[in-house]
Structure 1
Amino acid sequence: MNPRIFLCATVVVTLCIVIGFVWVLYGTPIHDVRLLILERAFVDAHMRHPSGSILVEQKTYLGGQYAHGSKRCVYAIGELRSMKLSKDNIKKSYEHVFVSFGEEHLPVLILFRDESEESYELPFVVWQDELTGMMDGLSTTYMVYVATTYPYLGDPRCND
Structure 2
Amino acid sequence: MTEPDNTRRPAPRHDGGTIALPWPTAALAPGLWLVGTFLEDLAPKGTRRSGMRPGHFDLGFVLAGMTVACLVGRRPGGRDLPVVDPGPLYRLAKATRAALYVLSPIMVGLGIANAFVRGVSLGPISLPQVRDPGWRRSPTHSHRLTANVLLALALFQAVAALVHHYLRHDAVLRRMLPRGS
Q: Shared fold by TM > 0.5?
A: no
Q: Tell me which interval the TM-score lies in, with the shorter structure as reference length.
A: under 0.3
If the length of structure 2 is used for normalisation, what is the TM-score? 0.21
> Would you tell me which structure has more strand in proportion to its own residues?
1
> Would you tell me which structure has more helix in proportion to its own residues?
2
If the length of structure 1 is used for normalisation, what is the TM-score? 0.23
